[in-house]
């Protein structure tokens, strides 16, 4: 089946630094990508998404970069804060007859140190 | 959690019992989804429904059943046939034809 994976299962950063969370996807037909943040014991929260016709999309303190050539996705968080500590998931979707389905990676645990 | 509610937050069940998890949304979304999450793992799709009175199996449907009688409700029954039901269950919804899914707060099911 399809797989969406993450290069690093854990990431620790100092408060105020920038964070970069990486994600590799396997299906070149995927045309929609999304990042979620999940705090302990809670449901995933939408952060930002991007379609395959874009390379970059910015939100508030977050930027998603998409490199279709190497099938790589990254989430950049500027000026990381303790409240950013959570597990971050990427997911891919938008494939033909499975429209609406998302395929999730295992997640990266981000820890922000004061 | 954006208009999606799941109840109860914690649920305990004895082996051999069926249990039903509730998921309700007031977002007027057509599509709804059930996922299972195990510790340190990503989300695995159990069932999904893109329209009322229709649903499809996901990747791990065995031992689960669903119904979609109303647009706003998508209950999940964990049957006694599910061999390892202890997990965190997440419900999501999306506008049909789009991909952004919004999640509820989850139900943690523990089998005693």
Residues A13, A21 contacting (CB under 8 angstroms): no
Q: How far is CA A110 from CA A3, A53, A73, B79, in A?
A: 21, 28, 16, 35
Task: Name the B residues in 71-110 with CB < 8 Å from any A CB.
Answer: 90, 94, 96-106, 108
pLDDT, tens only, A53-64: 999 999 999 999
- CA A101-A38-A41 angle, to 5 degrees, is 110
Q: List Cβ<8 Å contacts ≥24 apart for B44-53.
A: B44/A104, B45/A101, B46/B76, B47/B76, B48/A100, B48/A101, B49/B74, B50/A100, B50/B96, B51/B96
CB–CB contact B45 A101 (8 Å): yes
Residue in B99, B104, B105 closest to A100 by CB: B99
**Cα A3 to Cα B102: distance, rounded to the nearest angstrom:** 21
B61 contact A CB<8A: no
Which pLDDT score is estimated for A99?
A: 66
B21 contact A CB<8A: no
Residue pairs between chains A and B whose CB atoms are closer than 8 Å = 58
B23 contact A CB<8A: no
Looking at residues A101-109, what average pLDDT do you find? Answer: 90
CB–CB contact B94 A100 (8 Å): yes
Average pLDDT, chain A: 89
CB–CB contact A43 B31 (8 Å): no
pLDDT, tens only, A11-53: 999 999 999 999 999 888 899 999 999 999 999 999 999 999 9
**Pick from A16, A8, A7: nearest CA to A112:** A16
Using CB atoms within 10 A of its CB, is residue B39 exposed (0-12), middle (13-18) or buried (19+)?
A: exposed
pLDDT, tens only, B46-79: 999 999 999 999 999 999 999 999 999 999 999 9
CB–CB contact B43 A46 (8 Å): no
Task: Name the A residues in 81-110 with CB < 8 Å from any B CB.
Answer: 89, 91, 93-94, 99-102, 104-107
**Minimum CA–CA partner of A5 in chain B:** B42
Residues B64, B76 contacting (CB under 8 angstroms): yes
């Amino acid at each position: 089946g399809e797989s969406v994976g993450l290069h690093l299962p854990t990431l620790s950063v100092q408060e105020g630094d920038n964070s970069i969370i990486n994600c590799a996807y396997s299906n070149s037909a995927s045309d929609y990508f999304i990042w979620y943040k999940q705090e302990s014991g809670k449901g995933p929260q939408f952060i930002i998404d991007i379609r395959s016709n874009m390379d970059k999309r910015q939100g508030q303190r977050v930027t998603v970069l998409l490199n279709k050539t190497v099938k790589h996705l990254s989430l950049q968080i500027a000026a990381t804060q303790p409240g950013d500590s959570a597990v971050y998931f990427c997911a891919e979707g938008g494939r033909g007859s499975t429209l609406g389905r998302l395929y999730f990676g295992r997640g990266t645990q981000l820890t922000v140190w004061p | 959690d954006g208009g999606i509610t799941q109840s109860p937050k914690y649920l305990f069940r004895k082996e051999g019992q069926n249990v039903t998890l509730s998921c309700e949304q007031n977002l007027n979304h057509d599509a709804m989804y059930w996922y299972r999450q195990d510790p340190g793992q990503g989300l695995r799709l159990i069932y999904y429904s893109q329209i009322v009175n229709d649903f499809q199996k996901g990747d791990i449907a065995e031992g689960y059943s669903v119904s979609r009688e109303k647009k706003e409700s998508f209950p999940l029954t964990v049957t006694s046939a599910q061999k390892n039901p202890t997990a965190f269950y997440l419900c999501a919804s999306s506008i049909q034809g789009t991909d952004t899914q919004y999640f509820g707060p989850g139900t943690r099911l523990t089998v005693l």
